[in-house]
Chain A
C-alpha cells in the first residue's frame, strides 16, 4: 500500500500553545486528506476533510478556528491545534487518498499531550 507519514509522532506542550502536525503522502499524490481524532478507548472520529487547494470541510462540532487545516500541495496537509488545552490531548491520525473515492491510507498518528 501507499505510505503516509506524520510528524511529529508525539508532542507534549503547555496549555495555550499552538501545535502543528504534518501529514505527508510519500509515494502518491493525495487529492484528499482526512483528519481524525481518537480519545482513549474510543473509536476514530473524523474531524475534517481537506481537498488540495480548497478549504477544509469540518464535521459537526469541530471548531474550524481552533483546528486549522491547510492542504496546500498534493503531498502535504497540516493540522494546527491553536491555543491547545488539556482536553485537546488525543491521538490525531491523518489519512490520504488519491481521490475521495479511493482507499484511504493512514499515517502513523501523532499523540498530543497538553499539560
Chain B
C-alpha cells in the first residue's frame, strides 16, 4: 500500500465549479501535511499547509482528519488557471524533512 494515496482523476470541471480532492495516508506517525500544485513539466509549488482545525486561503480550503488519516482540498469558484496536478504530501514522523508525495490528482478547468 502506498504511504500517501490520492484519486488520480482526472477531474474536468467548468469554470466556477467547486471541486474536492481526497487523500489518505497510512503512516499514523506522519506529522505535517501539505498540498502542492504542479504544472506540466514544472517543479511542485507549495499551495498550503493542512492543519487539524482546517484552514482556508482564499478559494482553497484544506482539512485534516487524523483519526481517519484523511486529508482534503476544496477549491471554490474554479478558474482556468487552477488547471494543474495537485499533490498531497506528508512529512514522515520518523525522518524529519522527508516529504512523501501522493501520485497527484489532475484537474482541468474548462471554459
Residues in A lying within 8 Å of B, measured CB to CB: 1, 32, 34, 42-46, 49, 91, 93, 95, 97, 99-101, 103-104, 106-109, 111
| Cβ-defined contact, A97 with B97, below 8 A | yes
B68-111 vs A, CB cutoff 8 Å, 1 = contact: the mask equals 00000000000000000001000000001111111110000000
- Cα–Cα distance between A111 and B97 once the two chains are bound (Å): 24
Given A42-B103, A43-B104, does the pair A32, B97 have CB atoms closer than 8 Å? yes
Across-interface contacts of A34 in B (CB, < 8 A): 97-99
Across-interface contacts of B41 in A (CB, < 8 A): 91, 109, 111
Decide yes or no whether B46 CB sits under 8 A from chain A: yes
Given A97-B97, A100-B97, A104-B97, does the pair A109, B104 have CB atoms closer than 8 Å? no
Residues in B lying within 8 Å of A, measured CB to CB: 41-46, 87, 96-104
| Cβ-defined contact, A49 with B43, below 8 A | no
Question: Which among A42, A99, A104 has the greatest number of chain B C-beta atoms within 10 A?
Answer: A104
The chain A residue sitting closest to B85, CB to CB, is A43
| Cβ-defined contact, A44 with B97, below 8 A | no
- Cα–Cα distance between A91 and B98 once the two chains are bound (Å): 19
Given A43-B87, A43-B104, does the pair A109, B99 have CB atoms closer than 8 Å? no
The chain B residue sitting closest to A51, CB to CB, is B97
